[in-house]
Chains A and B, each alone.
Chain A
């Protein structure tokens, strides 16, 4: 009797383990998850000449669509209220809750001083305009995003079609590894149910539940309809934000990049940000 029970327990234990482990093993072996997460990238990286410092020679993705933006701070300073309206447009478009306290804050696009946004650029004796203009901060939709590398469930991923770093709110387990990994502080967590704090509900975009991470999605839902991101549209009057394909030599954003000196945030980390600033 006792022996039979032992045997049963053994078989049950082994099958339970197999049942839990099997899907993982099948997935790992069927999809080339390891190879696809940067095989090409790595090859390109090795070919690049080694430069001094921490991986300054990071090579950008040479082909395919890669969406990015250039933020012209000179034009931003022309109309100081413009950034606020861009932030408001972002909040409206994405049902971003507005919490009264900073502890629960959800930020996709927000304002911060130059010295906080550009930590590795000196702000010693910076010009009055730079010192007094708040800079917009947002997700950089990195070409090599550390958050995607860290996510244990592929709930955040880079879209192959346009390089946008997107989120699956229904897959996110809320471990917040991506928040620790992001060097730009671009990710927010829903510490509680955000819905009561959404001021004006937009039925065209889902609201989130408690316990998941969210961030700027470059307005993927608007791009699908052929529209520009909400912040770009809000700054249309001055054209302070230019948006487009960084890999297309004819795109408007490339024209700006070809003609102006631009900077990016924390380039020495090798993340290859897709957001450029004209200071």
Chain B
């Protein structure tokens, strides 16, 4: 894979958050600032699924939010399809599809309407949009529910619609934060199948997770993120060394983490 072009290149990303008094109280800490991402660099290649594996608070979501230009890094930069997240956030948003449980679709609208709306928001022309809708709705079985209000869809179907809407503009890169978090086994299967399908379609995928089995099932390469830093990176085989879970906890303890 590595001989392929690096489609995502993160260079020395830094992000620090100011903790409110309320947050300090909840977390029982006196620190006013928290380093979420500390000098993170990694590359993901075209056509692969890259997994950021780490415990809660490791900086996975912050990293993906920076890559999707929802938040700005305090230092460093990342390039997606050659576009800087700092200098060209709008162009970056044109080449990515971002999925997270925090991004929702308005329940009042139908999948049909939302697909057209988000297509227009990404500047997709009507003819392309119609063809793409037909193809994606048919491939993921949404066509029968295209006129049903989103609020009336089953969880699995809603997840499918969210996934399809996120790639309405045929992005080269799909960024997915905790793809199976909080989902039942059926919906989780819908998502993992979808990601494999995207890989077959030649898309590059970056996902974050704390679930070892998901990484083992889907990822071509993996970066282990602990305390905002990359503790290990490489192909799944190279990083896992036969047992991903054992390797992860060894790295975790090595970084000063306690079990």
**A is bound by B:** no
